[in-house]
Amino acid sequence: MTKRPNFLFIITDQHRADHLGCYGNPIVKTPNIDALAQDGTRWDRFYVANPICMPNRASIMTGRMPSLHGARHNGIPLSRDHTTFVELLKEAGYATGLIGKSHLQSFTGLPATNRYQPVEGLHTPPEGLRDAYKRNRHTPDYDLEDVTRWDRPLAERMEGDFYGFDHVEIAADHADKASGDYRLWARAQRPDFDSLVGPENALPDDRIKAPQAWRTAVPEDLYSTSWIADRSEAWLTERAQDDAPFFLQMSFPDPHHPFTPPGRYWDMYDPADIPLPASFGKGDLPPIAAMKAALRDGSDPRDNQNPFAVTEDETRAIIALTYGAITMIDDAIGRVLARLKALGLDENTVVIFTSDHGDYMGDHGLMLKLLLHYQGTIRVPFIWNDPASPAGGAVDSALGSSIDIAATILGRAGVQPYNGLQGRDLLASPAPEAVIVEEDSQRRMTGFDRPQRVRTLVTERYRMSLREGESWNELYDLVADPEENINLYALESAAGVRAELTELMLRRVIALQDRAPLPAYRA
């Protein structure tokens, strides 16, 4: 019997496709990731199912759209009632490990912004009948990643596996605020570790002035990126002692904001050397105008998860810091790949690289993500490096989606997928004519007077986004206007294209309707 392949699945957080050397970036240094692409295959048109952490991570795990698995936005955990591809690997005999960021459950412990509100004069149903779902994921077994309850390792608090992972070591949150199992470890190394983190403990630095950016006092060897590499190396060393195939998800919380690369990575890139994005200052959509107005009058605190407008200097500074965080991740990946080779595991290990979503990173003068589906937020890297079939730097320009990852890994492992898995095997099936991106926000943000529901269609040439309850939508010709500066949606000249894309979106949405569960009887 042919020996089954191992998998090293690497995920970064809030990492645009074009922030890698192998995707054409001439400044950021990513030699180890670039080498994976040089020997493997790089997908050039790979899109998220949702441009937010929890929904898209749940889509990666299930191979299903957020509207089906129900984790529609941050704050809704992935239900344990939903099957993950990792559970299938585990059942098929794989050792399964997750080291780093999970975010399949909420980790802030903060109250939700939208709750069930009793209406005066009407009978209010009891707690168990206030939601369409009776098992609505509000029970203690969905609080495992809550930082306010992280008094001991997750492995000691969970029963059985964690969404299919037998081994878990979690770094929750981001940058030097990372918590979870990582923070427990860091405190064990230095009892005063909490006095090193956050802007209030930052090292002095007058060079960088930008929102959510501070020079962390956490040294490189105690930073979460280094810890994830250390623990991954240790887990791989254990795997070399047995014959079972393995699946390791190595998940970095960076380069997600806040922007706090430690040590030499803080000033590795000079903001003066960073060019502004080609679309900076362009775009007249209502929320862009509102965010720019909020920047001018100082009404936007710019210290939370909401997108915000930035100045030219802030943009250059944040991109420089992001590049530093990315290079640190690349160095960590290089260490783990070297250990894989030293252990003799590299010749049978498929290495996969992707991110959970992107970031505006100055596009149209904005920072972060949410609500506007520009390429920077919805297009992510995807690299497949299989030593059994080296591709020599092939580039696949067909449309791919985060929901395709599960099917592709299962196909390579020789495991039949479960009913209802929506993604395709990227290596063995034709690409669709279009992909769908979903987003359902839970709170109002600058430029909007209500939470947003957006559905986006991406084809070979166009990106169209339709919004519920707004008077405007978006349509861009990605060939003639790759920076997405000219919104064609309301133009009479685009009526024919708009109609064709609208029908295509409807057909694609129908194709993505659920086919689970299977019937028990014919009728």
Q: How far apart are CA 84 and CA 201, in angstroms?
A: 40
Q: Catalogue all structural domains in the chain, each as residue range(s) with its CATH number.
A: 6-111+135-277+310-429 (3.40.720.10)
The two three-digit tokens of residue 105, written as one number: 């459950």
Residue 239: name the closest of 251, 252, 250 by CA.
250
3-class SS string, 63-122? CCCHHHHCCCCCCCCCCCCCCCHHHHHHHCCCEEEEEECCCCCCCCCCCCCCCCCCCCCC
Residues 427-457: tens digit of each pLDDT: 999 999 999 999 998 888 888 888 889 999 9
3-state helix, strand, coil in the chain (%, to 5): 35, 15, 50
Please list, residue by residue across 331-361, b when 16 or more beta carbons sit within 10 angstroms of its beta carbon and e when fewer do.
bbbbebbebbeeeebbeebbbbbbbbbbbbb
pLDDT score of 1: 42
d(CA 304, CA 474) in angstroms, rounded, equals: 26
- The 8-class DSSP code of residue 214 comes to -
Nearest alpha carbon to residue 379 among 358, 352, 403: 358
pLDDT at 508: 97
pLDDT for 479 equals: 98
What does the block give as tokens for 277?
């994005």
What's residue 31's pLDDT? Answer: 98
Flag residues of the chain having pLDDT under 50. Answer: 1
Strand, coil or helix: what is 440?
strand
Q: What is the reported pLDDT for 2? A: 65
Query: SS3 for 3-51, per residue?
Result: CCCEEEEEEECCCCCCCCHHHCCCCCCCHHHHHHHHHCEEEEEEECCCC
The pLDDT value given to residue 403? 98
384/353 Cα distance (integer angstroms): 7
First to last CA, the chain: 42
Q: Are 433 and 504 in contact (CB under 8 A)?
A: yes
DSSP-derived letter for residue 167 is E
Maximum Cα–Cα distance for the chain, whole Å? 71
- Residue where the block lists tokens 């569960």: 517
Cα–Cα distance measured from residue 92 to residue 196, given in angstroms and rounded to the nearest whole number:
44
